[in-house]
Amino acid sequence: MALWTWLVSLALCCYVQGAATEKIPSAASFYVQSIPGIVQNPDIPLQIYSGHLAAEPNMTRVASNDVTAHLFFVLVKNRRVADKQRVVFWFNGGPGCSSFDGLMMEVGPWRWDGKPVGSESFVVKEGGWEEYTTMVYVDQPPGTGFSFSSTDQYAHTMKDASGHFMEFLKNFYAVFPEYKNVDTYLAGESFAGQWIPFFAEAILDSNFGVPLRGVAIGNGWMDAKSQYLTYLDYAMKMSLLEEGTEDYKHVKTEHERCETALASIKDNPVHVRECGGVINGIIHKKKPKVVNGKEMCMNMYDIRYEDTSPACGLNWPPEMHAITHFLDRQDVVNAIHAQARPGAWVECRGDVHRAFKDKTEQSGVTVLPKVLQKIPVLIFAGDQDLICNYAGLERMMRTMTWNGETGLGTVQTKTWSVNNTNAGTWVTSRNLTYVKVFNASHMVPFDLPHVSHDMMLRFMGADFSKLVGGSAKIPSSLGHVSKPVFVGEEKPADKATAPAAKTPEQEKAMWEAYYNAGSAALVLVLIMLVIGLFTWYRVRKNRLRLPANQTSEAYEEEQVPLNTSMRDEEAGPLTATRKGKGKAEPVFDVGDSDDDEPYNRTGDGTRR
């Protein structure tokens, strides 16, 4: 029995030590060695960390058997040395749309290779914002993308969402303390026009001491009133409607109905139900074109394109099908440490979206003036977007009062060019910079990656004279001032990161990950050895056998699927064995619902 006692003590000691380590994960545990299907470029080395971090701000309100909120993130370290270190947290909209949109299609390091779904891969290319800046893509609020929580704990207000993000941020800095004193920016698009002002306010009001230097919002849904009232004007300006036609008369009627509703509203809600008919009248014609037996409608995110009805832009960009299939691969999920979220990845989750829908929440524009008192704000807009069009944003700025004045004032609007092409217009007034981007859609970086990168570097105040290699060689100018272009060799510090061989930091992270995995394997072997010896001992003595289904309660909590009701809509390689309902309905699940197919991305029947 002495041997038995020693083995049990050793196994329990190792188990407790391992459990304690999991509560405060090391950065190495998030290190991504490689991602299947990502074609690496030795000239563009990537250092990636990803996984889940706890994001429940109020543990006292959570029942002991609840699944607590965890946000998923992907961190991509800057590849080249800039004039200084910077970190950008990126958010997509929805609400409920994953920031993998930004990572996989917009400001991230790779792009779809165009191969058919099932044989797709992604190629690392220049143009990503991680070139000179560390990027952190966050799936939020809980339930979005690979993030999870019990559905009865979903965020319903901006205060809820801010609380989740701040708790995530606290844990992020515990794992990556080297970023706490680095110049920090928040950036995103669409409904992130709601998230970002509130998140910025929360950071600025906190005692975190985070050096938040600015925020950037692209085609943001910040002021519902201004957007609704400019749909008709934008449609006429862009020749989407012809005055006097049946379509025009219908939209004009809906516009007047919307005006009446808005006149009776004194506050600034995120959505106004009576105004949804305006944009629907623009994208759906009375006599729609029919192609191959299918009715067509306008792509609300890029008016240069059409789509089949009723999608009207939800099938765009075409990359989405390949991305969805790619993120449903088990080897990819394992590689990025996303296993804790059961079920398939869905771009936009209906249940998360509905948690915010029909609420009387105030729009982000109500918080923006307070943010502008403390930090610079960049608002940029692709001119080919209908849903969050530039006309609505310009109206918002004309009527908004900040830093003692209303509107942009009499400041000069400058021309802006990138690679000898007119990229747009640029104006700055009292901490607010507004950039209108030519020939760009709702997703500016998707259309013009190098243009959007130049814009962000300028906004962050990057010293172009100290940037060499890569996009630094692309000429650009703002007004009459051209960016200095260094034609010489890259800095030695840059060359150190260029070879395909792993850096010392990568080697350390890899070996620590191996060590953690080896330690876990050793614990498992010891436990199995103890169980085996104990079973042998009991059988030998003709005593009762150990029940075959006996497990550790703590182990069950960590390993059992968090959702016992996987839906058919999410069926795929990851969920084929989980379809249908179990014998009992769960009290809660982690957010898979009958409406988790890609839904319209805004609160008015579209995806923001």
Catalytic residues: 190, 385, 442
Backbone phi, then psi, for 203, in 5-degree steps? -65, -45
Phi-psi region of 359 (alpha: psi -120 to 50; beta: other; left: phi over 0): beta
Helix or strand or coil: residue 559?
Answer: helix
Say if residue 310 is preceded by a cis peptide, omega within 30 of 0. Answer: yes
- For the chain, the C-alpha Rg in angstroms (whole number) is 26
Coil, helix or strand at residue 294: strand
C-alpha 588/C-alpha 579 separation (Å) is 17
Measure the CA–CA gap between 275 and 298, rounded to whole angstroms: 18
User: Residue 14 has which token pair?
Assistant: 């190792």
**Whole-angstrom distance, CA of residue 119 vs CA of residue 290:** 31
Tokens of 487: 């034609």
Q: Which residue type does 590 have? A: V
Per the CB < 8 A criterion, the answer to whether 75 and 48 are in contact is yes
Start-to-end CA distance of the chain, whole Å, equals 65
Q: In what order do the strands lie in the sheet with 38-39?
A: 38-39, 122-124, 110-112
C-alpha closest to that of 215 among 192, 248, 240: 192
Task: Give kind and range of the element (H or E) at residue 319.
Answer: helix 319-326
Residues 6 or more apart whose Cβ sits within 8 Å of residue 523: 11, 14, 15, 18
Paired tokens of 507:
């080697």
Q: Report residue 375 CA to chain centroid gap.
A: 22
CB 471 within 8 A of CB 126: yes
Amino acid at position 413, single letter? T
Q: Of 170, 155, 143, 127, whose CA–CA distance to 41 is shortest?
A: 127
| Helices 246-263, 276-283: inter-axial angle, 10-degree rounding | 170
Supply 139's token pair: 């799936």
CA 376 to chain CA mean position, Å: 22
Give the position of tokens 């516009």.
255
Alpha-helical segments (H) within 482-552: 492-495, 504-540
* Cα 32 off chain centre by: 18
Residues with Cβ < 8 Å from 56, sequence gap 6 or more?
62, 68, 69, 149, 153, 164, 167
Neighbours of 51 (CB within 10 A): 21
φ/ψ region of 409 (left if φ > 0, alpha if ψ in -120 to 50, else beta) reads left
Measured CA to CA in angstroms, residue 224 lies from 90, 99, 151, 393, 432 at distances of: 22, 22, 27, 10, 19
Q: Could you say which DSSP state residue 484 is in?
A: P
